[in-house]
Amino acid sequence: MTNVTKQEALSSVAEMPGPPGPDANPSPPEKGRYDRSIVEGPLRSAVWKIAWPTMLTNVIGGLQGIVDHALVGHLVGFSGNAAIGVAWQIFIVVIVFITSLFTGMSVLVARFAGAGEEEKVNRTVYQAFFTAVGISLLIMAPLGYSLSPWLLDLVNAAPEVKAEALPFLRIMFLFSIGMLLFFMLSGALRSAGDARTPMILGIAMTVLNLVLNVILIRGLGPIPAFGTAGSAMGTVIASGLLGVYALWKLWHGGWVVSFPRGEGFGPDWTIIRSLFRFGLPTGIQGIAMNVGGVFMLAFIGSLAQSAAAQAAFAISYSQLFSLITWSSIGLMGAAAAVAGQNLGAGHPDRANAAVHVAASFGFAGAAFIGIFFLFFPRQLLAIFGMNEPGVVEIGVQLLRVLSVSGLFIAVALTYTGGLQGTGDTRSPLYISIISQIIVPLSICFVIQQTSTLDPINIWIAILVGHATRCALTVIRFNQGKWRGIAVDIEPKAKQSAS
């Protein structure tokens, strides 16, 4: 995407020759609705204040997914587990592009909240909402529904897996708007310094989702058992109800972010272009990572025990490993918010230190969970009704590899948050292409062409990819190029006068 000038856009991003000096923010931030302890108080407390609610929300959400898989595994069988895992891998590839707008939004919101500029925060949030809704309803829903069968064929889904995955995938594509609103709201609130409200909303959505899924997957009274499709139905109903409530609150106020009033409801193309300038690299990064995951599923589908390997992957990687990734994504959000706010307030050294603190939290958490992967893999798999010897052996292999891989991905995600939160969204894109596509897929391709590709070869390829991502991300962040990235949006009055 070509750059736009300040005169052409309300927002611009420029890399200055050096880090901002002490006068980078000549006007001190106003003390208002934003939590100033993030830019002024003890750093570990600031990081933990944003991190723990997000981590708890993500872990609880991950546990809800685990319950879904357990129900489906016992009622449908491992083909149902494989179907959910395959469908989610495909769905995420598409939805991640839309949620990339929220990364662009979060960069701007964190900077403006750090500088105490409320009007700019609210304008950014509304335009991110407007754009995401348009793309979801006009593009993602119709195309996703039509292309679902082809996408399942692309990943070599076994016939019994495809039969279960198709209705699940179509429901998710058609009714994903509530989930998108939750992602948008969580990112906006967290970037503005409020991580507790998304936690409360996330827990409420998870509990409602869990109740609905227990009813819809297995049936209750006159409600029939929908099986795998019931899991998708519960998810979209719960997120849709939450989305309606979120819109009401954003309009009537009461949160640290809200919709601006008296400025019209149409698109502001200059702000939208700014969202894409920050968010598009993250969207491409997410697509790259998940396209890599889709091709990895294709390699898994080519194995002699494809259905068993897909089921083991769905449980071990997509569910149990999420206990590490979701908590690390919470720390990634905390690193992004705290680093972005401190950079906006003119404190680049605090921004740098915040990311190192978040990484230490992530490493410790991944090490703790990894102990269970390493020593109790069979017991964890048994929770999902996995008793077939072939599936269990493959799952045990994968969990033991993931006990090490989790250390790398936890650190990589927190440093990715530091880069993205300060405005460097391009470096994680390049790193992801190398580490999530080129490295692991090349390993699998070479082994497949020269020998016999076994499940352990694929698991080791994933480990090498995660280690590569960790090393490259830490190196890039420590180079400090992000210190010179400036963000601004002109006041609304200036735009109207021009």
| pLDDT attached to residue 24 | 38
Q: Per the domain annotation, does 298 fall within a domain?
A: yes
* Partner residues linked to 223 by β-bridges: 220
Rounded Cα distance, 118 and 74, in Å: 50
| pLDDT attached to residue 240 | 92
| pLDDT attached to residue 31 | 46
Q: Per the domain annotation, does 105 fall within a domain?
A: yes
Q: Per the domain annotation, does 36 fall within a domain?
A: no
Residue burial 5-25, b: 16+ Cβ < 10 Å; e: rest = eeeebbbbbeeeeeebeeeeb
| pLDDT attached to residue 10 | 26
**Cβ neighbours of residue 459 closer than 8 Å, sequence gap 6 or more:** 397, 398, 401, 402
Domain that holds residue 188: 49-483
Q: Per the domain annotation, does 371 fall within a domain?
A: yes
Structural domain count of the chain = 1
Q: Per the domain annotation, does 436 fall within a domain?
A: yes
Q: How far is CA 437 from the centre of its chain?
A: 18
Per-residue pLDDT of the chain (498 residues; tens, 9 = 90+): 333 322 322 222 233 333 333 333 434 434 457 778 888 878 888 888 888 887 787 777 666 666 666 667 666 666 677 777 778 777 876 777 777 778 888 888 988 888 788 888 888 999 888 888 888 888 888 988 999 899 888 777 778 888 888 998 999 899 988 888 888 888 889 888 898 998 899 889 888 988 898 888 888 888 888 888 888 898 899 999 998 999 999 988 889 999 987 766 778 887 888 888 888 888 787 777 767 777 888 888 888 778 888 888 888 887 788 888 878 888 898 899 899 989 888 889 999 999 999 999 999 999 999 999 999 999 988 887 777 888 889 889 999 999 999 999 999 999 999 999 888 989 999 998 999 889 999 999 999 999 888 889 999 999 999 999 999 999 999 999 998 887 766 666 544 433
CA atoms within 13 A on the CB side of 162: 14
Q: How far is CA 247 from the centre of its chain?
A: 21
Q: Per the domain annotation, does 7 fall within a domain?
A: no
Rounded Cα distance, 197 and 411, in Å: 26
Q: Per the domain annotation, does 84 fall within a domain?
A: yes
Q: Per the domain annotation, does 310 fall within a domain?
A: yes
* Partner residues linked to 220 by β-bridges: 223
Residue from 401, 403, 395, 439 nearest 305 by CA: 395
| pLDDT attached to residue 115 | 79
| Three-state SS sequence of 41-84 | CCHHHHHHHHHHHHHHHHHHHHHHHHHHHHHHHHHCCHHHHHHH
Residue from 408, 419, 389 nearest 482 by CA: 419
